[in-house]
């Protein structure tokens, strides 16, 4: 059960990291989603994913 919740949380974080119109907004959204799921480590990972998504979308 906890594995399913973890997968859902990561999926939600990836989807939310695409929200926003620029790099800063996407990184902030990813950081907030990551912080909710995994604390400080999740915030750092969410910000990184938000930035990576932004770089891919902006090309």
Give me the residue spans of the domains in the chain: 2-58
* Per-residue pLDDT, 22: 80
CA 56 to chain centre: 14
Contact 38, 48 (CB under 8 A): no
**Torsion 15-20-23-25 (CA) sign:** negative
Q: What is the pLDDT of residues 9-30, one digit of tens each?
A: 777 666 665 567 788 887 887 7
Full-model pTM: 0.59
């Amino acid at each position: 059960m906890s594995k399913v919740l973890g997968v859902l949380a990561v999926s939600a974080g990836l989807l939310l990291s695409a929200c926003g119109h620029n790099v800063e907004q996407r990184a902030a959204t990813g950081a907030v989603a990551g912080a909710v799921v995994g604390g400080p480590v999740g915030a750092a990972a969410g910000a990184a994913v938000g930035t990576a998504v932004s770089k891919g979308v902006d090309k």
